[in-house]
Amino acid sequence: MAELLATWFGCGYVPKAPGTAGALGALIPAVLLWMWLPVSPWHYAALAMLAAPVGIWAADEVARRKGLKDPQIVVIDEVLGVWVALGGAATLNWKSFLGAFALFRLFDIWKPQPVRKLEQLGGGLGIVADDLMAGIYAALVLFAAGCFNLY
């Protein structure tokens, strides 16, 4: 069960850019929720916070089993980060979903402080915390863009 969640149902096994695959995999349930239920952006951030303890556990389990600090197959952190980023959307539409994805990946790859520092926490917490912070940065930029009606 831990590996299924940590790899986000296999997205982490994509041979090239598994983090990007995980971030795209986060959009599937997000878009489906938006299409079928009256969700607001804050629902995604709440979902990420509720799922974070399970994500930390799953990431920690897989990292220990693989004997690696942050195995590439673990992408639950990207999923949670994208959902946090969506929490900053002023409105939900295809542009906000695309913006959340792109901004999250930008901050996840760039790793401005304290994103890079949070990686050092170790274990599942370190794997997930840096992506949650990258998601917060993305949410702030997405929110600011929404204030100027850019999407």
pLDDT recorded at residue 91:
97
pLDDT recorded at residue 61:
98
- Whole-angstrom distance, CA of residue 136 vs CA of residue 1: 28
pLDDT recorded at residue 49:
98
Q: Would you say the pTM of this structure is higher than 0.75?
A: yes
Number of domains in the chain: 1
Peptide bond into 114 cis (omega under 30): yes
Structural domain range at position 69: 2-147
Q: By the 8 A CB rule, do 128 and 77 touch? A: yes
Q: Which amino acid is at 2?
A: A
pLDDT recorded at residue 131:
98
Binned average pLDDT, 10 residues per bin, the chain of 151 residues: 98 97 98 97 98 98 97 98 98 98 98 94 96 98 97 95
- Whole-angstrom distance, CA of residue 13 vs CA of residue 103: 23
pLDDT recorded at residue 110:
96
Q: Which stretches within the chain are classed as H helix?
A: 2-6, 18-36, 41-66, 76-86, 94-110, 115-118, 123-147
